[in-house]
C-alpha cells in the first residue's frame, strides 16, 4: 500500500528552503509559544514573519489565543525562529501534520528547541502562576497509537525506534533552574512530569486522580508530540509549563477549568 502521508523529507525540505530564501536569519534555536505565551515572539528584533497560511505545507491555527505566525529574528543578538501559536491534536489534523514544524526547524538548522505550554497543575504543592521545568512526559495519545512517528521511517530524520529516556536535556534544565534562582523565581519555579492528552475536553475528576497516581505533575494538550519528533531528528529539547489553573481533584470543589484562564484571554 502507499503509506505516504504527504509530509515527506522532500516536503519538509521544500518548506525550509522556501523560508530560508526569504530571510538572512539562520536560527540555531527554535521556540514554540504555548497558549497565551505568544508575547515572546513579539520581542524578536529584526523580524521576518510569515503567516502560517502562506507557508507551503504548513497547517493553520484554528484556536483562539494562538496567533499563527512563524517569526524569524534575534533574541539577545542570537538568531532564532519562533512559532507564535502551535497545533493540537484536537484541531483534527493528522499528528504527522501538526508536528511537521519540528522537522522544518531541523532543516532550517535549528539545534535546540524550546517549548512552552499552559497546563493544569496536578501536583498538590503547585500554585497558579508556577513555572514548571519539564523533566519528563507521559505521551498518552502515543500509548494508543496516535504517535507522530507511526508510518514509514525516513532515516534522514532519525532511527526507527528512537530513545526517549533522555528527551529533556538535563544540562538545559539545570541551567534554567540556576538562572531562575538568580532572577528570584525560586518561590514559583518547579520541575515535574508533563502529561499530554488529546483533548479538547478537560479532565474528569477521576482522570485527574488517575494521572496524578501515574506520576504526572501537570496536564495539558500539547508538547509531548513535538518533543518526540524533535528528539527523533536529534534536536536538544527544553520545555516549560505555565500552571494556569489547578486540576480539579475532589468532588467538593466548585472549580471548573475553562479556556479563558488557560489562554489568558
Q: Are 113 and 236 in contact (CB under 8 A)?
A: yes
Binding site for ligand 6GU (CB under 6 A): 118-120, 197, 199, 202-203, 219-221, 244-245, 247, 257, 262
Helices 224-232 and 100-108 pack at an angle, to 10 degrees, of 40
Strand 29-33 relative to strand 112-121, pairing: parallel
CB of 105 to ligand 6GU, least distance (A): 23
Residue 34 vs 101, nearer CB to ligand 6GU: 34
Residue 42 vs 207, nearer CB to ligand 6GU: 207
Catalytic choice (49, 90, 177, 261): 90
CB of 118 to ligand 6GU, least distance (A): 5
CB of 48 to ligand 6GU, least distance (A): 31
Active-site annotation holds for 117: no
- Please give the Cα distance from 93 to 48 (Å, whole number): 26
Active-site annotation holds for 259: yes
Active-site annotation holds for 35: yes
Tell me the C-alpha to C-alpha distance, in Å, between residue 22 and each of 82, 91, 132.
16, 29, 36
Q: Which residue has the cell 529516556?
A: 165
Active-site annotation holds for 165: no
CB of 248 to ligand 6GU, least distance (A): 8
- Please give the Cα distance from 252 to 255 (Å, whole number): 9
Catalytic choice (88, 137, 147, 232): 88
Active-site annotation holds for 147: no
Active-site annotation holds for 221: yes
The residues near 74 (Cβ < 8 Å, ≥ 6 apart) are: 25, 44, 45, 46, 80
Active-site annotation holds for 118: yes
Active site residues: 35, 66, 88, 90-91, 118, 221-222, 245, 259
Amino acid at each position: 500500500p502507499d503509506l505516504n502521508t504527504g509530509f515527506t523529507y522532500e516536503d519538509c525540505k521544500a518548506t525550509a528552503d522556501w523560508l530560508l530564501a526569504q530571510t538572512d536569519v539562520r536560527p540555531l534555536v527554535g521556540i514554540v509559544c504555548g497558549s497565551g505565551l505568544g508575547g515572546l515572539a513579539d520581542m524578536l528584533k529584526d523580524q521576518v514573519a510569515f503567516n502560517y497560511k502562506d507557508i507551503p505545507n504548513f497547517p493553520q491555527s484554528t484556536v483562539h489565543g494562538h496567533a499563527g505566525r512563524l517569526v524569524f529574528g534575534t533574541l539577545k543578538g542570537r538568531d532564532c525562529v519562533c512559532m507564535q501559536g502551535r497545533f493540537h491534536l484536537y484541531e483534527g489534523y493528522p499528528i504527522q501534520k501538526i508536528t511537521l514544524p519540528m522537522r522544518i526547524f531541523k532543516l532550517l538548522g535549528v539545534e535546540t528547541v524550546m517549548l512552552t505550554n499552559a497546563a493544569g497543575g496536578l501536583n498538590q504543592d503547585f500554585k497558579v502562576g508556577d513555572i514548571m521545568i519539564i523533566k519528563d512526559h507521559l505521551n498518552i495519545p502515543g500509548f494508543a497509537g496516535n504517535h507522530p512517528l507511526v508510518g514509514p521511517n525516513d532515516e534522514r530524520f532519525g532511527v526507527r525506534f528512537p530513545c526517549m529516556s533522555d528527551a529533556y536535556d538535563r544540562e538545559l534544565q539545570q541551567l534554567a533552574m540556576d538562572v531562575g534562582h538568580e532572577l528570584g523565581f525560586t518561590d514559583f519555579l518547579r520541575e515535574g512530569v508533563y502529561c499530554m492528552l488529546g483533548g479538547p475536553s478537560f479532565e474528569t475528576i477521576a482522570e485527574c486522580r488517575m494521572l496524578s497516581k501515574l506520576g504526572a505533575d501537570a496536564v495539558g494538550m500539547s508538547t509531548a508530540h513535538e518533543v518526540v519528533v524533535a528528539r527523533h531528528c536529534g534536536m536538544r529539547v527544553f520545555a516549560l509549563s505555565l500552571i494556569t489553573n489547578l486540576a480539579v481533584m475532589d468532588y467538593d470543589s466548585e472549580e471548573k477549568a475553562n479556556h479563558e484562564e488557560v489562554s489568558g484571554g
